[in-house]
Structure 1
Amino acid sequence: MLRRAKITIIGAGNVGATCAHWCAAAELGDVCLLDIPQTEDMPAGKALDLMQASPIMGYDSNILGTTDYADTKDSDVIVVTAGIPRKPGMSRDDLLATNAKIVTSVGEQIKATSPNAVVIVVSNPLDAMVQQMWKVTGFEPSRVIGQAGVLDTARYRTFLAMELGVSIEDISALLMGGHGDTMVPIPSCTSVGGIPVTQLIDSARLDEIVDRTRKGGAEIVSLLKTGSAYYAPAAACAQMVEAVVKDKKRVIPVAAHCESEYGVGGYYVGVPVVMGAGGVEKIIELKLTDDETKAFQNSVDAVKSLVATMNDLLSA
């Protein structure tokens, strides 16, 4: 019997609720929006509000807000946005330890209620959180994926389009590595209407745009004053959900579990993949230049250090 895909979003804050909005509006499936019991009826309120928008916007997705993991049973795709943002006075290790514990709890629930789901992790620090989710669930690594590359690449494409005054539709770009300051641009895989970007923007200016991309999230935080980005992160999640529920075979950058690929050796790091119904169906290995290889290895080393710190904090 055919049925709609079941999409669960864990964490009903700005990113989670906006992801629910994008997924419902695109009719990717029925949506379950979950948050912790302490939020009481908040997820139900957001879900009902989204349902009431459906006659106006013309979508038929059912949206349920809940604090009970039983309602998420047998989800096809689960997006995990749960976690806390870094607050004033909080150290990087405090954030890492707190969110690792939250992701551990969430992973245990997912394993019990939706053992066949594809899990997309958004919680930060991303590269460590997706590693922990994979460890806790015990799922095949292809079914546990980190969302960062889609967002980072979208920011990069936006800044390139703004710089050149062209349509974002004509910008094709790729960023690899960890999410944050060590992300690695791949100029050879960046083009504008098929024209290599290096023919349109000089290297110094391109470096400035890459630097702005690396700091893209912080720039929005500084503008908002309170809170952080959520429209673009949520849209990036929805694109990944679509790739799974429609078996799109999208070639996109995600945080995927690499063993022999790129010589990573068992860690999650941003790489281009083919993403479909099975999650990460193939990791695409590029021939990187010497400079790109060096930068990528530096990024991988930063991810390994982050994971090691997380493991130390969790075992303390």
Structure 2
Amino acid sequence: MFLFGGIKSLTNISPRNVVVRNFKVAIVGAGGGIGQPLSLLIRRIPGIDELALHDLSDTKGIAADLSHISQWGRVLAFKGDEELEPALCGADVVVVAAGMPRRPGMERDQLMAVNGGLAIKVATAVGKASPGALLAFITNPINMIIPTAAEVLKAQGIFDPRRLFGVTALDVVRSEKFISDFMNISPNGVNIPVIGGHAGITILPLISQCKPGFKGTSEDIEKLTYRIQEAGTEIVNAKAGLGSATLSMAYAAASFVESLIRGLNGQEDVVDCAYVASELTDAPFFASSLELGKYGIKSYPPLPQMSDYENESLEKLLPILRQNADEGVAFARKCLKDISPIPAALP
């Protein structure tokens, strides 16, 4: 059965009774507010033989701490720009949790000015050290970061749209939780696709496709949709501007990484949501449900039949995604002077 999330499987992981291949996962930004809990949760995923932790500050203490957990595999620490490529070397999955969090009143361009450079640095290093890796960005603004990273990988001659992801799993997690609270049921029984992008009105939960069927009015749907779209601001305000979503983001991202690992391992019917290069709409990058496999994205399930409200919302968000993509590409092209093609063929 196809599930929209793959979000809840972390609670059922049992490495001792699952037969899997071994993979290397590298986390860039492993010492941060998302990176540390993410590293802990990823440590529990079966099939990871090596977990490489990288940050600008020393990660030796974090690696030592995690290495004491009674799970298979080793944990290695890497520090600074000079050790970025060694950290990524041979990785099957690279997860980027580094970057500046969003602050109250911060404009998208301000956030991109800092985090866009980071995306370029990591995508360049991946191209040199692990061109076949699945590259998943948590770093915001996702709607611009992924087009930027794609342009850098294209400049190196190694872009594969099946292997680049913007992690939007938190939108799914929030949708499941908020809907389950509204319906007074367990979130473990809720499945819902979230399409579009990863900011404001570009986040579109398809409540008409919720399983079990949503029991509420059209007004309830609009209120829930708005809360899901603005949930990030809810956390920023709750933290009094001193941070953004970290623990919930780590939970969602670890669940997505587990989906990637299960796909790499050849498991069937692994479906999750992410923001990727896509032809489902006229926006070049779009979040939707994806079937995952041995080389990343295996297939792009078509968009389901949507309600009138959802179709109208989709028409409103597509111009924003197109503009975000153009801005991400333009940002990358300003920084590509020192990047040359890499003569490497992907399998």
TM-score of Structure 1 vs Structure 2, range by shorter chain: 0.7 to 0.9
Aligned ranges for residues 84-233 of structure 1 at < 5 Å? 84-87=100-103, 90-138=106-154, 139-148=159-168, 150-182=169-201, 183-192=203-212, 196-197=213-214, 200-225=215-240, 226-233=242-249
Judge which range, 204-213 or 289-298, deviates more: 289-298
Partner letter of residue 134 of structure 1? A
Equivalent residues of 2:123, 2:149 under 8 A apart: yes
Aligned ranges for residues 27-106 of structure 1 at < 5 Å? 27-29=46-48, 30-36=50-56, 39=57, 41=58, 43-52=59-68, 54=69, 58-67=70-79, 68=83, 69-87=85-103, 90-106=106-122
> Greater RCO between the two (CA within 8 Å, min separation 6)?
2
TM-score by length of 2: 0.80
Unmatched 5+ residue regions in structure 2?
1-19, 336-347
- Residue 6, structure 1, aligned to residue 53, structure 2: no
Once residues 251 and 280 of structure 1 are traced to their aligned partners in structure 2, the CA distance between those partners, rounded to angstroms, is 9
CA drift at 1:270: 0.8
- Secondary structure of 2:200's counterpart equals coil
Equivalent residues of 1:256, 1:280 under 8 A apart: no
Once residues 124 and 27 of structure 1 are traced to their aligned partners in structure 2, the CA distance between those partners, rounded to angstroms, is 28
- Residue 273, structure 1, aligned to residue 293, structure 2: no
CA drift at 1:292: 2.6
Equivalent residues of 2:260, 2:296 under 8 A apart: yes
CA drift at 1:176: 0.8
Once residues 137 and 240 of structure 1 are traced to their aligned partners in structure 2, the CA distance between those partners, rounded to angstroms, is 22
* 1:83-136 C-alpha deviation (Å, 9 max, x unpaired): 212346754312112211110011101100001101111110002111111221
Match of 1:284 among 282, 301, 315: 301
- Secondary structure of 2:25's counterpart equals strand
Q: Provide the residue aligned with 2:34 in structure 1.
A: 15
Partner letter of residue 326 of structure 2? A
Once residues 210 and 296 of structure 1 are traced to their aligned partners in structure 2, the CA distance between those partners, rounded to angstroms, is 13
Equivalent residues of 2:232, 2:244 under 8 A apart: yes
* 1:259-290 C-alpha deviation (Å, 9 max, x unpaired): 3x2333xx221111112222111111123345
Taking structure 1 as reference, are residues 307 and 214 closer, same or farther at Cα in structure 2, changes over 3 Å only? same
Partner letter of residue 216 of structure 1? A
Greater helix fraction, Structure 1 or Structure 2? 1
Once residues 204 and 89 of structure 1 are traced to their aligned partners in structure 2, the CA distance between those partners, rounded to angstroms, is 28
- Secondary structure of 1:142's counterpart equals coil
- Residue 250, structure 1, aligned to residue 285, structure 2: no
Taking structure 1 as reference, are residues 203 and 289 closer, same or farther at Cα in structure 2, changes over 3 Å only? closer
Taking structure 1 as reference, are residues 90 and 165 closer, same or farther at Cα in structure 2, changes over 3 Å only? closer
Once residues 221 and 129 of structure 2 are traced to their aligned partners in structure 1, the CA distance between those partners, rounded to angstroms, is 46
Taking structure 1 as reference, are residues 237 and 277 closer, same or farther at Cα in structure 2, changes over 3 Å only? farther
Taking structure 1 as reference, are residues 101 and 289 closer, same or farther at Cα in structure 2, changes over 3 Å only? same
Once residues 142 and 112 of structure 2 are traced to their aligned partners in structure 1, the CA distance between those partners, rounded to angstroms, is 10
Once residues 245 and 36 of structure 2 are traced to their aligned partners in structure 1, the CA distance between those partners, rounded to angstroms, is 13
Q: CA RMSD in A?
A: 2.1
Taking structure 1 as reference, are residues 105 and 80 closer, same or farther at Cα in structure 2, changes over 3 Å only? same
Taking structure 1 as reference, are residues 311 and 143 closer, same or farther at Cα in structure 2, changes over 3 Å only? closer
Match of 2:255 among 202, 225, 239: 239
| Count of matched residue positions in the alignment of Structure 1 and Structure 2 | 298
- Secondary structure of 2:281's counterpart equals helix
Once residues 32 and 86 of structure 1 are traced to their aligned partners in structure 2, the CA distance between those partners, rounded to angstroms, is 26
- Secondary structure of 2:90's counterpart equals coil
Partner letter of residue 272 of structure 2? I
